[in-house]
Amino acid sequence: MTNFIKVAAIEDLLPGARLHLDLAEESIIILNIDGDFYCIADLCTHDNGPLEDGELVDHQITCPRHGACFDVRTGKVTRLPATDPIPTYQVKVDDGFIFVEEPEPW
């Protein structure tokens, strides 16, 4: 069974905003793209650097260190030098709050 964690109120994460959180052993980023919420690990699989400050265009986040790109919907690599996808987590909205799937340590 998937456990979900309440992370924010919807009004605290307006379209275009992102929220970085440290949950237990994992760092995650929650993104609001045009009213749709996505959650990814704050981890570039190329060199384990953070994605928190990466440029976001459409649904692509770019690693600020070496330029690898990932699709935040699926975690899929869209530009080298990364070759492995990033972890993504389910997001649900209930009663005005955003909940994310509790990450498994990686």
Residue range 67-79, pLDDT digits in tens: 999 999 999 999 9
Q: How many domains in the chain?
A: 1
Residue 105 has a pLDDT of 63
Q: pLDDT digit string (tens) for 26-52? A: 899 999 999 999 999 999 999 989 999
Question: What CATH number is attached to the domain comprising 70?
Answer: 2.102.10.10
Residue 106 lies in a domain: no
Q: Which residue has the higher pLDDT, 103 or 15?
A: 15
In-domain check, residue 73: yes
pLDDT the model gives residue 1: 66
Domain span at 55: 4-101
88 domain residue, yes or no: yes
pTM for the model stands at 0.92
Cβ contacts of residue 36 below 8 Å, gap of 6+?
none
Answer yes or no: is 87 within a domain.
yes
Which residue in this structure is represented by tokens 């995650």?
Answer: 28
25 within a domain of the structure (yes/no): yes
Q: Which residues contact 6 (CB under 8 A, 6 or more apart)?
A: 97, 98, 99
> Looking at the DSSP assignment, which residues form a beta bridge with residue 26?
23
